[in-house]
């Protein structure tokens, strides 16, 4: 059985080799990320059957868990690793033709390292190791946001860096506290020992860690960097940031809150925080005129919805949350990719400049429409099953306050529908000038794969639903996690 | 016997209608201290008009007028004239209400076709006036139907035989008064004559009618007159066992209408609507509430 | 107004921290993981410097991540500076040459610092210090040369190649550990040798040398980029 | 007095962290903010070391076989600090390069003036 | 593969095929479109009087999605497919000069397929899915001809999303409470539901279907949508699509909540819901009809009438007697027929006069387009409910229920609504067809054959159903029986009910005899000379030609009295809400001030707030 650690080691090795490959032949470097991610994707798919029985625990360096670092590859971890490699692959194919000027070699290295960091965060079972991979993810996204080197890119990158550094500082203080209290860094070990310590002392470390990770996962008060970063980064990067980076941040928050701490009476607070993020994200997106900024705010909204679903902590809602997460990665990625080429053709990011794009770039506009419909949750597309599961799970809980929150979720869908349909109308039903020119082949293949995925998920959600329910049970019940790591 | 009734009741209605027109002109003249034309004058006019040539404005001009007269004729089949009520079992009060709108609609279409500005203005006045008196009239009819809990007019007539004229039975008094107040408008007599008074814009819808068209129009007017009175008598004054008494009651109502016609000046169309929608409607509305409260 | 408000916030955070710290008495924490490392550190990894055994032995995966962070930072820095550079013209600033005393002083000290740096990361598993510290010393040597004699410049490709080769060495040793050793990534497949001798503690010195070279060349590259930018 | 004495390291560490945060919150100049961030980093590193410190313990190095291990300091925080320092350096380098580029674009380092991307 | 699955497959397959064929050649696509719609009509016709349910898909989390056919769904499906077919035939020439027509046809078939899906769905999940597909494809069609249509489309899609979200909440709450979404099972399970829950269900679904059927407070999207949509589609939209709301109401009140059993129980919540719904229906009849009078745009006038007539259907359905429900359903069918006819005649005129639909600038078209005139005449007679037209029979049934159900005030609202219809609809007919023919329309030609065909077909059905109402009533009677009411005493010529009956054959005979008699009487008069249109008597003054339009401000005396009361307050209210959200969202986005110090302040604030709360009250 292939060792999952290759998921991290191989892309890392390839990243280190890129300068050598580059000195050998200039053309080849563009295809290294595609190869690495293809390898990752195939490896993930091969691992699915093994992981479904029981999670794989890898002890690095041969030392048993509390003393060495271990990788925990459960259904949840594999879901995220698979999602990262899939989205990463599609976006790397897209950026073959999208990224032409500027230090291209460095772009591909940073891109691969960002995805490796994300895979690392998702698979690791050690708290400090999570921090290190989290740092790789953050630093490479700081650099990639500033890739264009224009005024907006540099400004948003410095703001993102300052907030990110404060966040990771807080995270490190939290880890310090945890180590001080429990003397160990292994998540399963801490999870086991959590009951020995009185709950009130655990509150400050948890808040510090959640705040640290929350900065990256765009929870409400901490997500001020996201609109600037996603709107001024190159579109392929904002697709990755929106599609993967914030989801991985949310995974880390969920893992910390559910598995490591597992204090169940704080979940309601996170539900409220999720709804707050959702409403603020949707309201801000409603008032935007810049297309990428609007998509960034809608990412904040969707993250709020996923956080709300995860915070309800029943198997049904968490499955719905994960389904919505997968749908968000795919359709938001598709939206950013199609928006990328539309902006490239129309010159400006204003929605008014996208008028008449339906005629000039029919396939890209179709991709945008499919992505928008799926994100709003219209039936034949992937968004509908996700929303259906979340709402049915939430109503199953039966509490009155949860029903009100569900009402707010549905209300925000209306707002979301409004601003997405406004853009679709601009694409198809407003006349714009400019000649008809299709997006290049690689971009079109990327968009078509995503579209097929969206429709497949929308029409037949069952094959993903079983995998997701095992992933949600992996997240929720602490005992099986601790048992399988410290057996 | 049923067939004979079917054929003769419209003719009878036409006859009485024309007689009423002639009588009206005779009584008006008498009130104004002059002799006035003989009672059979409208009949003579109709025969004269039929012989004159006249301009036609196209197919709809003809069909519209024919349709309106046919509609009015059909209504007479449904209205019980004393005991004679040929078709009242195949459609009740609702059918009559709806048949009553075929007349004005046909007239409107044909005069609309004549492309004469005065005709168009005339039709809008006619429809507005209809709208005016329709509101209280519907309230009255609904009060009646709810009070007697039936939509068939012959039942209303037969029920009135034992409970007395509905004008004077307790819950329907208000409706009776309201009906009285709107009767001149329904008959198109003086205070509400603005629609086809000759002095107004060359008699409104009838401006383009000459010869046979004018004949049909006068017949239609006569029939409308007859229907208005007979409906009032049936609903409010308990109809009659035999046609003769029914005719006498109609005469009384007719004289009432003519006296009102002789005395009042002509109201402008918005004054008419404002009048119709103020007091008669309030009374009719109160009547309906009264019926609902007491009846249920 | 703003400073007063932020002061209040920080005071509240301070209070929270103090409340939590009350459960972590200073100077007497008993971390069982720490004791285990001290007792069996030498036996498991063969290194006498227990910190090195933790850094490169037990938590070698962390260090791999650590090296990648530095690698990312170096490339990020290069990307940001390069992105801005080509869209404005190249002007060569004229620097007056350094004085003779400074020039010869630097030339004399340079090899000595390099030697000291090499010593530090080669004896990482015996004496305090290790790959990162040695690399920093090497970079300081280059910095001294830059400051001392202005025109000297290391070749760009050399720095980049050592960087990637040493990174590869690290990853490859990890992978061979996976293939050869007890089927674990970064496991110590070489014999530990006798304690306190140079060639002991299995793959730890190899990794630390690779790290030392990598960190040295990376930091030099960073310094080089920054200086090139400031011209 | 004994509270101050035996917790001086914690007070020192968190003093640095809070001062670093205060600088980031209050100061407008980008360089000062970056300095604030690095102060916060050093504070965190000091805090991590303080966590692992044993009263008058020695460095965990067995330079000669007979050094007994009873008074050795916990090695794990030191490994963490090693990594934390390197991360601090990496972020610092990146921040400074961004500062250079920022000055080239905006002509100023006053963050109050660098507010083009808002709302 | 039961008939329904084949039907849905053909319908949805047709959508793709039309688009592809459209790419190849337009004539191929046109023939294919007509053939496809005819095939649909035939398939549905073959499924007459079949009931049954087949599960066709379990892929959605294992929830069985099934098709169900019974009398109700057959009737609606038949009406949808026939009207769809007629509008396709009609739009062959109407849309021939437009751009991207294949998109129009594929969307038309998508809407048609969506409606068939909605009507045949056997469980609430597939009902919702087809409902959504129908809604957003309508959105694409409404905003099809750009310009102001975009704003109308946006307003439509916002309100329809609100409706869908309400329905989604209702569907899922049913799923969570009862574990199944199958309509047949639900109707047994919901009987045991608490009155409060039943009321909640009725209100939630009532909002969703109320928006679609434009019941008074939720109607504001309809006037813009009908006027801005391409005319053949606004015919389909007004005819069948909006009446899916009625289908929904029927489904919810009589099938899911199964009200027929205990409708008139004293305390049951359903009867209070129906009572409120009836009053809403009454208001929906009166106010929109009088607003229609004020309109100067032909399609907008018809749109307001669409809302008004919707009120009759709601009134019929909400009044839970067998006659009432039958009247409501029959009126839905009749309304579909004559509103489509009216929209088609307006479209025919638009086609010839180059898109003019302003009532004040048309006139005298009867000579140039007699077929359109006949269609319009019969359409408005149906709309008014002139005896011998289908509208009359269904209105008569609704009045009968209201009066015998002792609700005179509702009957009053309905009757006054009819009179308001007469005035506004006559204005519509007069301003377009009668009166002076303007100079510029001197030489316009007849409408082409494929526009005349649907108009003739629909006009004849109006008369056919008016004279022989037994044909449709037999099917409707089956529906009423399937709801649990006792069946009506229907015969070919009308209805016998305890308080008065309707015999349309006698009525027809009487009117025919009357017509012939008067025609003969007229013929014996002197010959009449046809004369040109401007040769008419003006008391000496010359009738000015083409210089002023005497159709403007047609009912001015009445307008001055009632127009202050007829401003659409709901529309202004919703617009205010929209501005409010815009203003609020503009305020909220100011949180992100741009200054990085504030952003770090938010992080520190978040942490200190949490710590403060924890230290003070320690809720955890």
Residues A469, E62: contact at Cβ < 8 Å?
Answer: no
pLDDT of residue A132: 95
pLDDT of residue A93: 93
Please report residues of D whose CB lies closer than 8 A to that of E595.
111-112, 115
Residue B192 has pLDDT above 90, yes or no: no
The band of C100, judged by pLDDT with boundaries at 50, 70 and 90, is: confident
- The whole-angstrom separation of Cα B117 and Cα C104 is 114
Q: Give the mean pLDDT of E264-291.
A: 81
The residue of chain C nearest to residue E618, with distances taken between CA atoms, is C16
Domain count for chain E:
3
pLDDT digits (tens, 9 = 90+) for A298-338: 999 999 999 999 999 899 999 999 999 999 999 999 999 99
Please report residues of C whose CB lies closer than 8 A to that of A109.
75
Is A140 an interface residue toward C (CB < 8 Å)?
yes
Domain hosting residue D49, numbered range: 2-57+72-106
- The whole-angstrom separation of Cα E44 and Cα A414 is 35
The band of E201, judged by pLDDT with boundaries at 50, 70 and 90, is: confident
* pLDDT, mean over chain A: 91
Residue E602 has pLDDT above 70, yes or no: yes
What is the percent of chain E with per-residue pLDDT over 70, rounded to a whole number? 93
Residue B23 has pLDDT above 60, yes or no: yes
The band of B124, judged by pLDDT with boundaries at 50, 70 and 90, is: confident
D14: in domain: yes
pLDDT of residue C71: 93
Min mean pLDDT across A92-96, C32-36, E579-583 is at C32-36
pLDDT of residue E263: 58
- The whole-angstrom separation of Cα A102 and Cα C83 is 6
| Residue E251, token pair as written in the block | 């489904």
Residues A374, A454: contact at Cβ < 8 Å?
Answer: yes
**CB spacing of D93 vs C128 below 8 angstroms:** no
**CB spacing of C31 vs D87 below 8 angstroms:** no
Nearest CB to A135; choose among D21, D87, D119: D87
Domain hosting residue B9, numbered range: 2-295
Nearest CB to C62; choose among A15, A18, A69: A69
Please report residues of D whose CB lies closer than 8 A to that of A168.
87
pLDDT digits (tens, 9 = 90+) for D1-59: 677 777 888 899 999 999 999 999 999 999 999 999 999 999 999 999 988 888 888 88
Domain boundaries, chain A: 6-485
pLDDT of residue C86: 62
**CB spacing of D118 vs E593 below 8 angstroms:** yes
* E415: Cα within 13 Å, side-chain hemisphere: 28
Q: How open is the CA angle E390-E395-E401, to the nearest 5 degrees?
A: 135
D117: in domain: no
Residue A238 has pLDDT above 90, yes or no: yes
Domain hosting residue E7, numbered range: 1-190
The band of B85, judged by pLDDT with boundaries at 50, 70 and 90, is: confident
pLDDT of residue A117: 95
The band of C89, judged by pLDDT with boundaries at 50, 70 and 90, is: low
Nearest CB to D90; choose among C29, C63, C69: C69
Residue C198 has pLDDT above 60, yes or no: yes
Q: Give the mean pLDDT of B19-37.
A: 89
**CB spacing of A60 vs C77 below 8 angstroms:** no
The band of C160, judged by pLDDT with boundaries at 50, 70 and 90, is: confident
Distances (CA, A) of B95 to A194, E44, E385, E492, E500: 84, 35, 10, 18, 10
Most confident of C162-171, E477-486, E517-526: C162-171
Decide the pairing of beta strands E65-69 and E501-503.
Answer: unpaired
pLDDT of residue D118: 82
> Three-state DSSP class for B81?
strand
Look-up of token digits 């039961």: E2
- The whole-angstrom separation of Cα C86 and Cα B106 is 86
pLDDT of residue E436: 77
pLDDT of residue E358: 85
Chain D adjacent subunits, 3+ CB pairs under 8 A? A, C, E
pLDDT digits (tens, 9 = 90+) for C45-87: 888 888 888 888 888 899 999 999 999 999 999 999 887 676 5
Touch C-B: 3+ C-beta pairs under 8 A: no
| Domain CATH for D95 | 1.10.287.3510
Residues D30, D105: contact at Cβ < 8 Å?
Answer: no
pLDDT of residue B203: 67
Residues E502, E494: contact at Cβ < 8 Å?
Answer: yes
Please report residues of C whose CB lies closer than 8 A to that of E604.
6, 9-10, 13
> Three-state DSSP class for E495?
strand
**CB spacing of C16 vs E615 below 8 angstroms:** yes
The residue of chain E nearest to residue A273, with distances taken between CA atoms, is E606
Most confident of A89-98, B89-98, B238-247: A89-98
- The whole-angstrom separation of Cα D67 and Cα D61 is 8
Residue E492 has pLDDT above 80, yes or no: no
The band of E1, judged by pLDDT with boundaries at 50, 70 and 90, is: low
Residues C36, A65: contact at Cβ < 8 Å?
Answer: no
Distance from CA of C184 to the nearest CA of D (A): 21
Mind giving me the DSSP string for B57-80? --HHHHHHHHHHHHHHHHHHHHS-
What is the percent of chain D with per-residue pLDDT over 70, rounded to a whole number? 98
The band of E549, judged by pLDDT with boundaries at 50, 70 and 90, is: low
The residue of chain C nearest to residue D6, with distances taken between CA atoms, is C26
| Dihedral sign computed on CA atoms, order D27, C219, A92, A153 | positive
What is the percent of chain B with per-residue pLDDT over 90, rounded to a whole number? 11
Q: Give the mean pLDDT of A264-275.
A: 90
Please report residues of E whose CB lies closer than 8 A to that of D33.
596
| Residue B71, token pair as written in the block | 């509609």
Please report residues of E whose CB lies closer than 8 A to that of D24.
597, 600
Q: Give the mean pLDDT of E269-287.
A: 86
The residue of chain D nearest to residue A128, with distances taken between CA atoms, is D80
Domain boundary among E152, E172, E190: E190
Could you tell me which of A373, A417, A420 has the C-alpha nearest to residue E160?
A417
The band of E260, judged by pLDDT with boundaries at 50, 70 and 90, is: low
Q: Beta-carbon neighbour count of residue E473 at 10 Å?
A: 25
Distances (CA, A) of C54 to A180, C47, C63, C167, C203: 18, 10, 10, 20, 13
Could you tell me which of E71, E116, E414, E398 has the C-alpha nearest to residue E250?
E71
Domain count for chain B:
1
Residue E266 has pLDDT above 80, yes or no: no
- The whole-angstrom separation of Cα E426 and Cα B126 is 12
- Which of E22, E145, E196, E620 is the best mutation test for A, with the most CBs of A within 10 A? E620
**CB spacing of D119 vs E594 below 8 angstroms:** yes
The residue of chain A nearest to residue E606, with distances taken between CA atoms, is A221
**CB spacing of B208 vs E536 below 8 angstroms:** yes
- The whole-angstrom separation of Cα E30 and Cα E22 is 8
pLDDT of residue E498: 60
pLDDT of residue A135: 94
* pLDDT, mean over chain C: 85
Residue C184 has pLDDT above 80, yes or no: no
pLDDT of residue E540: 65
pLDDT of residue A156: 93
A-to-D residue pairs, Cβ atoms closer than 8 angstroms: 87
Residues A97, A236: contact at Cβ < 8 Å?
Answer: no
Touch C-A: 3+ C-beta pairs under 8 A: yes
Residues E323, E400: contact at Cβ < 8 Å?
Answer: yes
Min mean pLDDT across A235-249, A432-446, C60-74 is at A432-446
The residue of chain A nearest to residue E584, with distances taken between CA atoms, is A283
pLDDT of residue A237: 94
| Residue E354, token pair as written in the block | 């180059």
- In sequence order, what are the beta bridge partners of A72? A57
Nearest CB to D40; choose among A135, A169, A227: A169
pLDDT of residue A24: 82
D67: in domain: no
What is the percent of chain C with per-residue pLDDT over 90, rounded to a whole number? 29
pLDDT digits (tens, 9 = 90+) for A17-50: 998 888 888 888 889 999 999 999 999 999 999 9
Could you tell me which of A14, A71, A11 has the C-alpha nearest to residue A40?
A11
| ipTM attached to this prediction | 0.88
pLDDT digits (tens, 9 = 90+) for E313-359: 998 888 878 888 889 999 999 999 999 999 999 999 988 888 888 88
- The whole-angstrom separation of Cα E140 and Cα E155 is 12
pLDDT of residue A364: 92
- The whole-angstrom separation of Cα C192 and Cα C46 is 5
> Three-state DSSP class for E321?
coil
Residue E520 has pLDDT above 60, yes or no: yes
Q: Give the mean pLDDT of E101-108.
A: 89
pLDDT of residue C115: 94
E163: in domain: yes
- The whole-angstrom separation of Cα A311 and Cα A322 is 12
The C residues from 134 to 163 touching A (CB cutoff 8 Å) are 157, 160-161, 163
Q: Give the mean pLDDT of B163-174.
A: 84
A-to-E residue pairs, Cβ atoms closer than 8 angstroms: 159
pLDDT of residue A375: 93
Distance from CA of A425 to the nearest CA of D (A): 24
Nearest CB to D6; choose among C7, C26, C39: C26
Domain count for chain D:
1
Distance from CA of D5 to the nearest CA of C (A): 10
pLDDT of residue E537: 67
Residues A413, A387: contact at Cβ < 8 Å?
Answer: yes
E253: in domain: no
pLDDT digits (tens, 9 = 90+) for B262-295: 888 888 888 888 899 999 999 999 999 998 888 7
The C residues from 142 to 181 touching D (CB cutoff 8 Å) are none
């Amino acid at each position: 059985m292939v060792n999952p650690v290759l998921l991290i080691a191989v892309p890392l090795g390839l990243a280190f080799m890129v300068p050598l490959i580059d000195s050998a032949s200039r053309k080849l470097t563009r295809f290294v990320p595609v190869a690495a991610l293809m390898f990752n994707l195939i490896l993930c798919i091969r691992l699915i059957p093994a992981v479904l029985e029981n999670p794989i625990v890898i002890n690095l360096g041969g030392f048993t868990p509390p003393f060495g670092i271990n990788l925990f590859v459960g259904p949840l971890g594999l879901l995220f690793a698979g999602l990262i490699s899939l989205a990463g692959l599609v976006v790397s194919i897209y950026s073959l033709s999208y990224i032409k000027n500027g230090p291209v070699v460095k772009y591909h290295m940073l891109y691969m390292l960002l995805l490796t960091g994300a895979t690392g965060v998702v698979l690791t079972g050690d708290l400090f190791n999570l921090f290190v991979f989290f740092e790789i993810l953050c630093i490479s996204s700081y650099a990639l946001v500033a890739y264009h080197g224009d005024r907006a890119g540099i400004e948003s990158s410095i703001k993102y860096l300052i907030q990110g550094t404060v966040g990771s500082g807080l995270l490190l203080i939290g880890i310090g506290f945890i180590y001080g209290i429990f003397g160990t860094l292994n998540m399963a070990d801490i999870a086991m020992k959590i009951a020995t310590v009185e709950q009130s002392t655990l509150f400050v470390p948890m808040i510090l860690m959640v705040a640290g990770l929350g900065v990256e996962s765009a929870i409400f008060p901490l997500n001020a960097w996201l609109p600037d970063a996603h709107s001024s980064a190159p579109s392929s990067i904002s697709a990755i940031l929106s599609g993967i980076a914030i989801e991985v941040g949310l995974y880390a928050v969920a893992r910390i809150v559910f598995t490591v701490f597992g204090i169940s009476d704080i979940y309601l607070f996170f539900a409220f925080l999720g709804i707050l993020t959702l409403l603020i994200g949707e309201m801000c997106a409603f008032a935007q005129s810049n297309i990428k900024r609007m998509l960034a705010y809608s990412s904040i909204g969707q993250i709020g919805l996923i956080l709300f679903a995860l915070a309800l902590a029943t198997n049904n809602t968490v499955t719905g949350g994960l389904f919505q997460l997968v749908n968000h990665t795919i359709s938001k990625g598709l939206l950013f990719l199609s928006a990328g080429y539309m902006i490239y053709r129309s010159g400006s990011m204003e929605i008014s400049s996208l008028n008449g794009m339906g005629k000039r770039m029919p396939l890209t506009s179709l991709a945008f429409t499919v992505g928008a419909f799926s994100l709003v949750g219209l039936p034949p597309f992937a968004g509908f099953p996700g929303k259906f599961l979340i709402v049915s799970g939430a109503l199953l809980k039966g509490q009155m306050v949860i029903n009100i929150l569900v009402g707010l979720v549905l209300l925000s869908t209306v707002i979301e529908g409004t601003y997405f349909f406004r853009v679709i109308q601009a694409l198809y039903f407003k006349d714009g000038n400019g000649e008809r020119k299709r997006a290049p082949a690689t971009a079109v293949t990327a968009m078509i794969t995503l579209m097929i995925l969206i429709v497949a998920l929308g029409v037949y959600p069952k094959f993903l639903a079983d995998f997701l329910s095992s992933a949600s049970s992996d997240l929720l019940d602490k005992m099986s996690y601790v048992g399988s790591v410290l057996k | 016997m049923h067939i004979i009734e079917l054929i003769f009741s419209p003719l009878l209605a036409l006859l009485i209608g024309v007689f009423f027109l002639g009588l009206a002109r005779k009584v008006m003249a008498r009130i104004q201290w002059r002799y006035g034309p003989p009672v059979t004058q409208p009949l003579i006019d109709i025969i004269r008009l039929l012989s004159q040539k006249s301009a036609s404005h196209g197919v709809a001009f003809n069909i519209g007028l024919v349709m309106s007269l046919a509609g009015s004729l059909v209504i007479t089949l449904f209205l019980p004239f004393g005991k004679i009520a040929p078709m009242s079992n195949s459609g009740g009060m609702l059918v009559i209400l709806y048949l009553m709108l075929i007349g004005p609609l046909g007239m409107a279409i044909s005069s609309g076709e004549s492309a004469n500005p005065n005709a168009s203005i005339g039709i809008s006045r006619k429809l507005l006036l209809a709208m005016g008196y329709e509101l209280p009239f519907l309230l009255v009819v609904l009060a009646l139907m709810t009070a007697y809990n039936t939509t068939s007019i012959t039942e209303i007539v037969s029920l009135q035989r034992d409970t007395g004229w509905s004008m004077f039975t307790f819950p329907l008094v208000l409706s009776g008064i309201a009906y009285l107040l709107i009767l001149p408008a329904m008959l198109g007599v003086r205070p509400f004559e603005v629609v086809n008074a000759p002095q107004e814009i060359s008699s409104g819808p009838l401006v383009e009618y000459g010869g046979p068209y004018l004949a049909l129009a006068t017949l239609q007017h006569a029939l409308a007159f007859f229907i208005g009175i007979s409906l009032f008598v049936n609903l409010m004054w308990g109809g009659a066992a035999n046609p003769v008494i029914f005719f006498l009651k109609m005469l009384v109502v007719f004289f009432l209408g003519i006296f009102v016609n002789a005395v009042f000046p002509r109201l402008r169309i918005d004054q008419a609507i404002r009048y119709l929608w103020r007091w008669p409607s309030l009374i009719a509305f109160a009547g309906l509430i009264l019926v609902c409260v007491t009846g249920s | 107004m703003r400073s007063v408000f932020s002061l209040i916030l920080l005071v509240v955070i301070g209070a929270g921290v103090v409340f939590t710290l009350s459960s972590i008495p200073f100077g007497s924490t008993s971390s069982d993981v720490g004791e285990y490392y001290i007792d069996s550190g030498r036996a498991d990894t063969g290194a006498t410097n227990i910190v090195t055994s933790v850094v490169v032995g037990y938590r070698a995966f962390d260090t791999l991540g650590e090296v990648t962070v530095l690698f990312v930072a170096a490339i990020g820095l290069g990307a940001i500076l390069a992105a801005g550079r080509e869209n404005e013209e190249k002007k060569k600033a004229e620097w007056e040459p350094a004085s003779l005393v400074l020039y010869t002083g630097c030339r004399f000290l340079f090899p000595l610092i390099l030697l000291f740096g090499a010593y530090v990361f080669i004896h990482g598993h015996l004496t305090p210090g290790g790959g990162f510290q040695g690399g920093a010393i090497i970079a300081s040597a280059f910095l001294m040369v830059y400051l001392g004699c202005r025109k000297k410049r290391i070749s760009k490709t050399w720095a980049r190649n050592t960087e990637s080769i040493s990174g590869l060495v690290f990853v490859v040793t990890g992978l061979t550990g996976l293939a050869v050793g007890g089927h674990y990534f970064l496991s110590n497949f070489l014999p530990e040798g006798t304690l306190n001798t140079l060639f002991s503690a299995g793959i730890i010195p190899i990794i630390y040398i690779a790290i030392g070279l990598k960190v040295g060349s990376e930091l030099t590259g960073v310094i080089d980029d920054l200086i090139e930018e400031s011209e | 007095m004994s509270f101050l004495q035996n917790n001086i390291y914690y007070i020192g560490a968190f003093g640095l962290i809070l001062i670093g945060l205060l600088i980031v919150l209050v100061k407008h100049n980008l360089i000062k903010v970056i300095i604030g961030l690095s102060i916060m980093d050093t504070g965190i590193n000091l805090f991590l070391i303080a966590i692992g410190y044993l009263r008058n313990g020695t460095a965990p190095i067995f330079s000669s076989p007979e050094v007994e291990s009873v008074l050795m300091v916990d090695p794990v925080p030191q490994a963490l600090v090693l990594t934390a320092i390197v991360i601090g350096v990496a972020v610092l380098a990146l921040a400074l390069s961004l500062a250079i580029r920022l000055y080239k674009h905006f002509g100023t380092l006053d963050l109050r003036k660098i507010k083009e991307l808002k709302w | 593969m039961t008939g329904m699955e084949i039907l849905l497959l053909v319908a949805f397959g047709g959508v793709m095929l039309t688009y592809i064929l459209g790419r190849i050649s337009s004539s191929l696509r046109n023939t294919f479109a007509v053939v496809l719609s005819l095939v649909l009509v035939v398939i549905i016709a073959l499924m007459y009087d079949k009931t049954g349910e087949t599960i066709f898909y379990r892929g959605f989390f294992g929830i069985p999605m099934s098709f169900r056919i019974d009398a109700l769904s057959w009737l609606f499906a038949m009406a949808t497919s026939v009207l769809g077919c007629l509008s396709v035939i009609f739009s062959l020439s109407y849309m021939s000069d437009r751009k991207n027509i294949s998109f129009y046809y594929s969307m038309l078939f998508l809407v048609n397929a969506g409606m068939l899906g909605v009507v045949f769905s056997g469980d609430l999940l597939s009902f919702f899915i087809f409902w959504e597909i129908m809604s957003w494809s309508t959105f694409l069609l409404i905003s099809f001809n750009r310009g102001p249509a975009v704003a109308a489309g946006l307003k439509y899609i916002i309100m329809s999303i609100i409706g869908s979200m309400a329905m989604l909440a209702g569907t899922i709450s049913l799923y969570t409470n009862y574990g199944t979404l199958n309509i047949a099972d639900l109707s047994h399970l919901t009987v045991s539901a608490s009155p409060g829950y039943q009321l909640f269900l009725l209100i939630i679904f009532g909002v969703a279907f109320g928006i679609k059927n434009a019941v008074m407070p939720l109607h504001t999207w309809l006037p813009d949508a009908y006027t801005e949509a391409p005319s053949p589609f606004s015919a389909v939209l007004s005819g069948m699509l909006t009446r899916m709301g009625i289908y929904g109401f029927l489904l919810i009140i009589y099938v899911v909540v199964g009200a027929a059993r205990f409708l008139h129980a004293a305390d049951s919540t359903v009867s209070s819901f129906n009572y409120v719904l009836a009053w809403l229906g009454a208001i929906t009849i009166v106010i929109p009809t009088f607003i229609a009078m004020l309109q100067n745009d032909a399609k907008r006038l018809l749109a307001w009438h669409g809302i008004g007539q919707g009120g009759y259907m709601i009134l019929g359905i909400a009044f839970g007697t067998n006659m009432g429900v039958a009247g409501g359903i029959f009126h839905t069918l009749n309304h579909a027929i004559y509103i489509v006819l009216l929209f088609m005649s307006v479209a025919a005129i638009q086609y010839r006069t180059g898109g003019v639909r302003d009532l004040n600038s048309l006139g005298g078209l009867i000579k140039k387009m007699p077929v359109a005139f006949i269609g319009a005449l019969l359409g408005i007679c149906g709309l008014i409910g002139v005896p011998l037209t289908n509208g009359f029979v269904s209105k008569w049934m609704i009045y009968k229920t209201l009066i015998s159900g002792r609700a005179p005030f509702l009957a009053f609202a309905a009757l006054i609504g009819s009179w308001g219809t007469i005035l506004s609809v006559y204005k519509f007919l007069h301003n377009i067809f009668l009166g002076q023919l303007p100079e510029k329309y001197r030489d316009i030609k007849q409408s082409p054959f494929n526009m005349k065909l649907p108009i003739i077909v629909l006009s004849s059905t109006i008369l056919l159903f008016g004279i022989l109402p037994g044909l449709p009533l037999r099917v409707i009677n089956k529906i009423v029986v399937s709801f649990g009411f006792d069946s009506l005493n229907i015969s070919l010529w009308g209805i016998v009910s305890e308080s008065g009956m309707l015999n349309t054959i006698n009525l027809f005979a009487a009117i025919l005899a009357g017509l012939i008699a008067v025609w003969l009487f007229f013929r014996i008069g002197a010959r009449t000379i046809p004369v040109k249109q401007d040769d008419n008597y003006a008391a000496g003054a010359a009738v000015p030609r083409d210089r002023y339009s005497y159709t403007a401000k047609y009912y001015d005396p009445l307008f001055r009295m009632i127009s202050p009361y007829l401003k659409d307050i709901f529309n202004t209210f919703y617009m205010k809400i929209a501005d409010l959200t815009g203003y609020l969202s503009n305020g909220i986005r100011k949180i992100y001030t741009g200054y990085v110090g504030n952003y770090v302040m938010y992080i520190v604030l978040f942490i200190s707030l949490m710590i403060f709360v924890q230290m003070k009250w320690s809720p955890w």
